[in-house]
Amino acid sequence: MSKRVCISGYYGFDNFGDEAILKTLVENLKNFEKELNITVFSSNPQKTAKELNVNSVHSFCIKDIVKSLFNCNYLISGGGSLLQDTTSAKSLIYYLGIIALAQILGKKTIIFAQGIGPIKNKHLEKLTAFILKKSKYISVRDDKSINWLKTWGINATKCYDPVWNIETPLVEKTNIVGIQLRAFPTMTEDILNQLANLINNYYLDREIHLLSLQNKLDLEICNKLKNKLKSKNIKVIENSSNKKIIEDLSKLDILIAMRFHACLIGIKSGVKLLPINYDIKVEQLAKEFDLNCFNLEYIELNEIIFEQFTKNKIEYNTEKINSLMYDFKQLEEIIS
């Protein structure tokens, strides 16, 4: 009888980063064992099943989840920042509940490429520590998570983002300038106006693609920016599938991007990248590759940064990129 694995995470919401993590995980699991049976808990099970050729049940159909967990050998929780209550205590309780249920049913639980914390509620912190101590294997993406777990007496493996493992397509490069934005409190109307002015000044005669990687959060601001630009050749590219997004990012000449995984794919594809520094993970990625950032705080620096970025050539260290890939060997040893 083939082994069965269930995967729980923020899947089916058309968030490019989370879907790319899931794609990488599924592809590597299938490499472990050809007969491995995989079931993903997703808010869009039909789409998930079709795109990844896996079984899928709805994230909130308790009956199907219990049945899937009862029949599986392993539960993998992650990747992403699932175990925190900053976004919502309800989401933390949900993901912990899935892990706890699997443990009650006697299944081995694996925490995959997650960021742990912050957890403000002390009761939820104790519950998280109690449940994670029963996990078979834990990998986390940053030192803060490692230190958080150490305070609970839990050892974990530090890893890099699994999306580094995605193979980007060898596509013919174009002269297109890609802009990827998302709704965020610090992306104000003033900042958007300044960005539009710089794009108009430097790329007036270029084809411009405005890339929406999660339509719910990106599409409106893409259309706002489009109305501020003077180029005669502008396209808004909506999220259709991960494969298409990766192809669209890979063929660009220039990419100005907010989302971490858009920046990551840009680097892997050799695209000239200017990250927009809206989150510490984007700032850290830029430092890793000695890149300047478009800044949402010190906006007086942005024109200087933009001019330097346009003039300077960017080359990425291939060895550095390879060193950031996720090592699936430990996961393979557990499951195989």
pLDDT of 1 above 80: no
Could you give phi then psi for residue 38, rounded to 5 degrees? Answer: -115, 130
Q: Is the pTM of this model over 0.85?
A: yes
Contact in structure between 209 and 229 (CB atoms under 8 Å): no
Report the alpha-carbon angle 282-148-114, nearest 5. 50
Residues forming beta bridges with residue 77, ordered by sequence position: 8, 111
> 297 vs 282, which has greater pLDDT?
282
277/203 Cα distance (integer angstroms): 21
Whole-number pLDDT of residue 336: 81
Name the residue among 138, 228, 232 with its Cα closest to residue 192.
Answer: 228
Share of residues in the chain with pLDDT > 70 (%): 100
Continuous H helices in the chain: 16-32, 45-52, 62-71, 89-104, 122-132, 143-151, 189-202, 215-226, 242-250, 260-268, 280-288, 302-311, 318-323, 329-335
- Chain centroid to CA 270: 19
Q: At which residue do the structure tokens 């850290």 appear?
A: 284
Structure tokens, 257: 């991007």
Which residue's entry shows tokens 């609970």? 152
Q: Which pLDDT score, from 0 to 100, does residue 239 have?
A: 85
Judged by phi (left if over 0) then psi (alpha if -120 to 50, else beta), residue 29 lies in alpha
| 92-123 pLDDT tens trace | 999 999 999 999 999 999 999 998 988 999 99
CA 107 – CA 65 distance, rounded (Å): 13
- Average pLDDT of the chain is 94
Tell me what the mean pLDDT of segment 200-208 comes to: 95
Contact criterion met (CB below 8 Å) for 154 and 132: yes
Q: Alpha-carbon distance 142 to 163, whole Å?
A: 15
pLDDT digits (tens, 9 = 90+) for 128-166: 999 999 999 999 988 889 998 999 999 999 999 999 999
Rg of the chain (C-alpha set): 21
Instruction: Evaluate if residue 296 carries a pLDDT over 90.
Output: no
The reported pLDDT for the residue numbered 103 is 98
Question: How far apart are alpha carbons 329 and 325 in whole angstroms?
Answer: 12
**Strand order in 55-58's β-sheet?**
55-58, 37-42, 4-8, 74-83, 108-116, 137-140, 157-158
pLDDT in tens, 36-79: 999 999 999 999 999 999 999 999 999 999 999 999 999 999 99
Which of 230, 228, 236, 229 has the alpha carbon at shortest distance from 180?
A: 236
Residue 270 has pLDDT above 70, yes or no: yes
Residue with tokens 């923020």: 10
Confidence of residue 298 (pLDDT cuts 50, 70, 90): confident
Coil/strand/helix, residue 179: strand
280 pLDDT band, cuts 50/70/90, is: confident
User: Can you count the helices (H) and strands (E) in the chain?
Assistant: 14, 13
Spell out the domains of the chain, with CATH numbers in brackets.
4-159 (3.40.50.2000), 177-320 (3.40.50.2000)
Higher pLDDT, 176 or 295: 176
Six token digits for residue 277: 């520094």
Q: What is the pLDDT of residues 243-255, one digit of tens each?
A: 899 999 999 999 9
Mean pLDDT (whole number) for 25-42: 93
